[in-house]
Amino acid sequence: MTAGEVKRVKEVAKSTSVSMTPVRPGKTYPLSPLDHAMAAHTLHLVFYYKAGPEMEEDKLKESLSDVLSHYPAMAGRLVRGEKDGNWVVKCNDAGVRVVDAKAGVTLERWLETATAEEEMDLAHWEPMVENTSIWSPFYIQITEFEDKAYAIGLSCPHMHADPTCAMLFIKAWSDAHRHACIINPPFFHPPGLRSRPLPNPSSPLLSSKSNSISHSSSSSSSSSSSNNISSATFLFSDSSLKSLLSDHHLTLSPQLTPFSILAALFLSRIATGNTFTVCTDFRKRMHAPLPHGFYGNAMHFSSVTAELEAGVGNVAERIAAHVAGLEEEEYWSAIEWVEEEMMMMKKKKKVEFPVYGPELTCVNLEHVFGYGAVFDEGEKGKPVHMSCRIGGVVGEGVVVVLPTPEEGMGRTVVISLREDLTERICRDEVIAKYEPVLMFH
């Protein structure tokens, strides 16, 4: 926003929502190793809804208190464990912060004209303070537009939740709002993702990713300060994806998904080398699958090498084959490496390292249930758009692939890159050929 411009979103009140059902005294929830690994990052979601009889602020706050009864860790406060110094949630019913806001524009006009910076005005965030007992990890913003449409924003530390977890909370809130059964209730079991008794430090995956993270942690200060990150959103329709597939002689399959082809397209226009990182959710890829509602982080970061000069089709097939070939041993090895790295960093008195970087990272979120977060009965109650951004991105940046409300292969792509690179990609003729709708730029 330039000097002299008037902000179109104004916060008008701040309050705290607490659970309707008190938690038992002394209840705690320790964060897992993968949760701790995300300490350098934050998560920011925005869901947009048209005006409807059930989309009223008081009703939304009432159902929020209802759903918080199922999420005691969200309404708690972070404290350091006495034995190991790791983060633990003290489930003390302190509640989540709720911000009421007004937008001086209609929803339609906002979606047509808002910048990425303005969109973040819909997801209030306050960084962690030294006294964490008074700091709410979760901030929920309810913004009313001039036409009585609403935006629901959620911001939290990535340590608390990955995108799947955070979006399922919004969906659970919508279920509670409609007095319906919560389809995917939260599952709290952090020991389920702790290392095995016999770690395997020689894993090839560990060697690859540890080099990446070591580079990231050593260069994070310069990357974040010298490279201003900016964002933009691209909406690809079903017909856009069909055209993209046709141009590169590809056919969708259980392996080759819209994520693979869109990641390959953007990599071909962004990447400066042939190595990049792919981030996937592994809840349902374990031998004993975790429930969709597993609370916390279950995202796996792995390095991929592909010859970008071979073309988008070849890169898409390489990504698809890599993701399909991931095995459970690799997930456990990564968890073990994270625990070892945490111990080393404690000795060095470092507390966090960026995971989204330094390599360009492609995040697959096409599985999430965000558009199932229906607060009003029928089709009209579905979100008309949802956004997901990750804070603390360094290095080459992030490409996030999400669903769209459209049936079929349509996908949303959110890029977070250096400002100059974002500008170039927004004007890129190869991407523009597929006529994506450009938003929040």
pLDDT of residue 351: 65
CA distance 159 to 34: 8
The radius of gyration of the chain from alpha carbons, rounded to an integer in Å, stands at 21
pLDDT of residue 82: 83
Closest residue by Cα to residue 97 from 133, 137, 66: 137
Q: Taken in order 397, 242, 163, 427, is the CA torsion positive or negative?
A: positive
3-state secondary structure of 278: strand
SS3 at position 277: strand
Write the DSSP assignment of 100-114 as a string of letters: EEEESS-HHHHHHH-
What local confidence, expressed as pLDDT, does residue 46 receive? 98
Domains 10-193 and 204-439 share a fold: yes
> Given 3.65.10.10, 1.20.210.10, 3.40.50.10490, 3.30.559.10, which CATH number is that of 10-193?
3.30.559.10
Q: Quote the DSSP letter at residue 192.
A: G
Break the chain into its structural domains and give their ranges: 10-193, 204-439
Whole-angstrom distance, CA of residue 258 vs CA of residue 241:
7
What DSSP character marks residue 310? G
The pTM (predicted TM-score) of the whole model is 0.92
Average pLDDT, 10 consecutive residues per value, the chain (441 residues): 76 96 91 94 97 87 96 95 88 96 98 97 96 95 96 97 97 95 91 61 42 41 55 97 94 91 96 92 94 95 93 96 95 91 77 84 95 87 95 95 94 96 97 97 93
CA–CA separation, 282 vs 269, rounded Å? Answer: 28
State the SS3 of 164-195: HHHHHHHHHHHHHHCCCCCCCCCECCHHHHCC
pLDDT of residue 4: 57
What pLDDT shows up at residue 389?
97
The pLDDT of residue 295: 96
Q: Output the pLDDT for position 94.
A: 96
* Homologous superfamily in CATH for domain 204-439: Chloramphenicol acetyltransferase-like domain (3.30.559.10)
User: Given its phi and psi angles, is residue 311 left (phi above 0), alpha (psi -120 to 50 degrees) or beta?
Assistant: left
